[in-house]
Amino acid sequence: MKSDTCRVCGTPISKFMTFGRMPIANGFLMAEEIKDEYFFELAPAFCESCNMFQLVEQPEPEKMFHGHYAFYSSTSRYMQAHFAHFAASVMDGPLAGRTDPFVVELGSNDGIMLQNFHQRGMRHLGVEPSVNVAEAARAKGINTVGAFFGRDLAGKITAEHGQADAILAANVMCHIPDLNGVAEGVARLLKPDGVFIFEDPYLGDMIAKTSYDQIYDEHVFIFSVTSVARAFASHGLEVIDAEPQITHGGSMRYTLSPKGARPVSERVAAQVAKEHEQGLQKPQTYLGFKRNCETSREKLMAVLETARKDGKRVVGYGATSKSTTVTCYCGITPTHVQFISDTTPIKQGKLSPGAHIPVKPYSEFTRAWPDYALLFAWNHAAEIREKETAFAAAGGRWIVYVPEVGIVA
């Protein structure tokens, strides 16, 4: 779906750059499916009126979230710990002392967050449209409804379970084009003193680190505190806290509640001021970002071309959604990167979207160390480098591109 106007406030928008023709980021495919591969133009725009950073075009949700969605949240040990902390902060914070609280999570994936509430015997409900990951959550005993969240579902959930004390969402809100519909649903489902807490990759980090790979079909928005505050204000919800997170290369956790229901932390105004200082409200900032993306592409391709000429073996590490933007925008081919190692069974034996680089099990990476590993899962660098000491000891080097292109030990 292409939009000539801002999805939040209706002001006309236009792309400030293009990443070109792009496939579905999680559309791993078999060779015989290449002829039918779907492409769209990946191009971001910035709304000067409400400051929302967004895609001009996003494929239909059903093309991205379905019965064989390739991303299972629980593949990272660090992320499991992150969600255990997130859940604990909700149970010990806004839910503390409440009688029989009810927690709803939007886009609950394989239950990585809700399992913590389930273990404490708390009333919970996950909403997850991708059937296979929802099934993985149910297998863990987590109550999950298979659907896209919106106004209607909010009404149904309220009728069946009552209003929610807390609504949570992690790396989900930025995926939903009808933000106003979801905000209305949240306002309807939430108790008058309830909290809506969500986190997503943060615009400030993406601009500062030139992590343009956060831009792909699923991420229709990249949020800032300023844009979130404006988007939700018209639905009677106010941002009462904003806490930076290190996850996914720099995220922000937003806490909202019905206006006036709870005190507003001073962190909110401080973060908005920081965004102003960084120039996130200025169109020129995005032209600078465009130039930085181009420079990053040139430098990365220079490293990969040199490696190819020198006969070095390069393997990709982590067939992330983000890597689809990098491979397709930069023009990385199987002649640069032999294969991508990934621990997710549903991705293995397939080809990466667009670039068609084979995805292989992790055992292929350890079987014969490559000269270089291109770190597509750079957001998990700490976890990965902690576990890949044997690769480093064998003389293997990492090719990285966020925040700078380089080769590191």
Footprint on this chain of ligand DWN (rule: CB under 6 A): 71, 75-76, 171, 218, 248, 318-322, 342-344, 362, 377, 379-380, 383-384
Task: Pick between residue 79 and residue 122 the one whose CB is nearest to ligand DWN.
Answer: 79
Closer to ligand DWN by Cβ: residue 286 or 362: 362
Q: Minimal distance in Å, beta carbon 8 to Zn ion?
A: 5
Q: How far is the CB of 160 from ligand DWN (least distance, A)?
A: 28
Site membership for Zn ion, residue 50 (CB under 5 A): yes
234 binds Zn ion (CB under 5 A): no
Out of 5, 49, 119, 333, the residue judged to bind Zn ion by CB under 5 A: 49
3-state secondary structure at position 124: strand
Is residue 229 within the footprint of Zn ion (CB under 5 A)?
no
Residue 381 interacting with Zn ion (CB under 5 A)? no
From the list ligand DWN, Zn ion, none, which binds 171 (C-beta under 5 to 8 Å, kind-based)?
A: ligand DWN
| Interacting residue with Zn ion among 22, 24, 25, 47 (CB under 5 A) | 47
Helix (H, G, I), strand (E, B) or coil at 278: helix
Measured CA to CA, the distance from residue 359 to residue 316 in angstroms comes to: 9
Instruction: Supply the minimum distance, in Å, between the C-beta of residue 282 and ligand DWN.
Output: 26
What does 383 bind: Zn ion, ligand DWN, none (CB cut-off 5 to 8 Å by kind)? ligand DWN
CA 190 to chain centre: 24
Neighbouring residues of 263: CB distance < 8 A, sequence distance ≥ 6: 240
Regarding 5 and contact with Zn ion (CB under 5 A), the answer is no
With respect to Zn ion, which residue has the nearer C-beta, 108 or 180? 180
- If the CB atoms of residues 157 and 373 are measured against ligand DWN, the closer one turns out to be 373
DSSP codes, 311-371: T--EEEE---HHHHHHHHHHT--TTT-S-EE-S-TTTTTSB-TTT--BEE-HHHHHHS--S
**Angle between helices 179-189 and 225-233 in degrees, nearest 10:** 70
Specify the residue, 71 or 212, whose C-beta has the smaller distance to ligand DWN: 71
Q: How far is the CB of 380 from ligand DWN (least distance, A)?
A: 4
Q: What is the closest distance, in whole angstroms, from the C-beta atom of residue 233 to Zn ion in the complex?
A: 12
Q: Is 8 in the site for Zn ion (CB under 5 A)?
A: yes
- Residue (of 253, 134, 149) closest to 205 by Cα position: 253
Q: Nearest distance from residue 259's CB to ligand DWN, in Å? A: 28
In terms of DSSP bridges, do strands 340-341 and 314-317 run parallel, antiparallel, or are they unpaired?
parallel
Cβ count within 10 A of residue 291: 11
- 398: β partners: 373, 408
Of 343, 258, 357, 260, the closest CA to residue 34 belongs to 357
- Taking the least distance from each CB to ligand DWN, the nearer of 272 and 384 is 384
Q: H-helix or E-strand containing 386?
A: helix 381-387
Task: Assess 9 for contact with Zn ion (CB under 5 A).
Answer: yes
Distance of closest approach, residue 132 Cβ to Zn ion, in angstroms = 34
Examine residue 233 and tell whether it contacts Zn ion (CB under 5 A): no
| Structure tokens that stand for 41 in this block | 């133009």
Shortest Å distance, C-beta 202 to Zn ion: 18
Q: Of all helices (H) and strands (E), which one includes residue 249? A: none
> CA–CA separation, 305 vs 15, rounded Å?
30
Q: Which residues bind Zn ion (CB under 5 A)?
A: 6, 8-9, 11, 47, 49-50, 52
